[in-house]
Structure 1
Amino acid sequence: MVNANMIKGSKISLKPIEIKDIPILWNLIYREEMPEFKKWDAPYFPWKRVDYEPYRSVMLERIEQGLDTQWLIMAEDQIIGSVFYYWEYEPTNWMEMGITIYSPDHWNGGFGTEAIKIWTSHLFRRFPDIPRLGYTTWSGNMRMIQVGLKLGMQEEARIRKARSYNGEYYDSVKLGVLREEWEEMYGK
């Protein structure tokens, strides 16, 4: 069944999380003690495994409240990741976004690039007052830096040696795009 809010691309679709997705999502995120995706998704922050019932309770509450800050990335009717947004500072319309592709089988296949492109367009349409969108990654995750640059984002900030992982220091890298730049490249 197709969700009415689903946004379709050529490789992936984005859709809001539904109750039936909760066990699958938990399994993708928390089944393993240290999932492979966590080596790239801010590995400098401690990983804390969450038991299913507390996770389910939080997700049910979010769904019941209509919070849709996180959507699922679907490929061939299978959840492969999620995109999200959060307010860095809502009074000034400063919004940030992020993405996680959970399975290494879906890395380097253009799934993340398409998801960020669709998500960025969706957020600019949904929030007409935000002038800019972007995300922060680290210099150890060259794939995420390349995704932003490929889509026309600019490197807006680089905080040198701000992240420590496995005994090495990495830069924190912020990429972003202004609404008018995005609309010039991809339309409204």
Structure 2
Amino acid sequence: MVCTDKEVMIRPIGERDMPRLWELMYKEEEPGWKQWDAPYFPHRRLTYEEFLNKKEEMVKQAHRWAIEVNEEVVGTVNYYWEHKPSKWLEMGIALYDPAYWNGGYGTRAFQLWINHLFEDMPLVRVGYTTWSGNGRMIKLGEKLGVKMEGRIRNVRYYNGEYFDSIRMGMLREEWEAAPWSP
């Protein structure tokens, strides 16, 4: 299965993607993307061999797909179950390659991911959690019509400053009414 808007594609991760994903995610001790993606949690550089030990968690999995722009892997989208019996699904996105930041690629990839999740699963809602220091992720959601559902104040401590935890979500009927919904 592949979802695409011609230039941006999301698809299951294949074994051929592992070298590029390692390079983007774990090759560097302090990758640039980490400043936006929960920097209050530590990041640990992995050797390629250590990364390959995670292959079973990534390759051909429904919960994590690769983002491609012009046939180059630049990031991933994912989901996890907050509470599967009630179909409470949380999702995420990471554009690891800074050459693709601020070009609308993340918005387009997340739109494809949301479409895929609602079309493939009997979900009532999709959502994600970010932090108030990541204005890009908040703005991405707002562009797609994802609503801020909650703000937990001063619970993320980073670089000597407290930030809020932000919960965002979209209901199925909001997705169906979105101008970009298929």
TM bucket by the smaller chain? over 0.9
Decide whether aligned partners of structure 1 residues 39 and 62 sit closer, same or farther in structure 2, where only a CA change above 3 A counts: closer
1:54 aligns with 2:50: yes
1:77 corresponds to 2:71: yes
2:163 alignment partner in structure 1: 170
CA deviations on 1:92-126 (whole Å, 9 max, x unpaired) are 10000000001111111000100111100100011
> TM-score, normalization: structure 2?
0.95
SS of alignment partner, residue 33 of structure 1: coil
Show the 5 A alignment for 1:13-162: 13-60=9-56, 62-63=58-59, 66-128=60-122, 130-162=123-155
Rounded to whole Å, the distance in 2 between the matches of 1:67 and 1:81 is 15
Q: 5+ unaligned residues in a row in structure 2: which ranges?
A: none
Task: Name whichever of 46-55 and 117-126 sits farther off.
Answer: 46-55
Q: Aligned-pair distance for 1:24?
A: 1.1
Query: Could you tell me how far 1:59 is from its partner in structure 2?
Result: 1.1
Deviates more, 1:79-88 or 1:46-55: 46-55
Tell me the CA shift for residue 54 of structure 1: 2.6
Number of matched residues?
A: 181
Deviation at 1:11, TM superposition (A): 3.3
Task: Provide structure 1 residue ranges, at least 5 long, that are not aligned to the other structure.
Answer: none
Alignment CA distance shift 1:72-1:150 (3 Å): same
Q: 2:99 and 2:118 mapped to 1: Cα distance?
A: 30
Percent identical: 48
Structure 2 SS opposite 1:25: helix
CA distance in 1, matches of 2:48, 2:81: 27
1:49 shift after superposition? 1.7
Q: What is the Cα deviation at residue 12 of structure 1?
A: 0.7
Q: Secondary structure at the match of 1:22?
A: helix
| Aligned-partner residue type, residue 40 of structure 1 | W
Q: 1:60: how far off?
A: 3.8
Please tell me whether the aligned partners of residues 12 and 62 of structure 2 are also in contact (alpha carbons under 8 angstroms).
Answer: yes
Deviation at 1:47, TM superposition (A): 1.1
- 2, 8, 26: which one aligns with 1:6: 2
Deviation sequence 1:69-98 (CA, Å, 0-9, x none)? 110110111011100000011011000000
Residues 13 and 58, structure 2, Cα contact 8 Å, conserved in 1? no
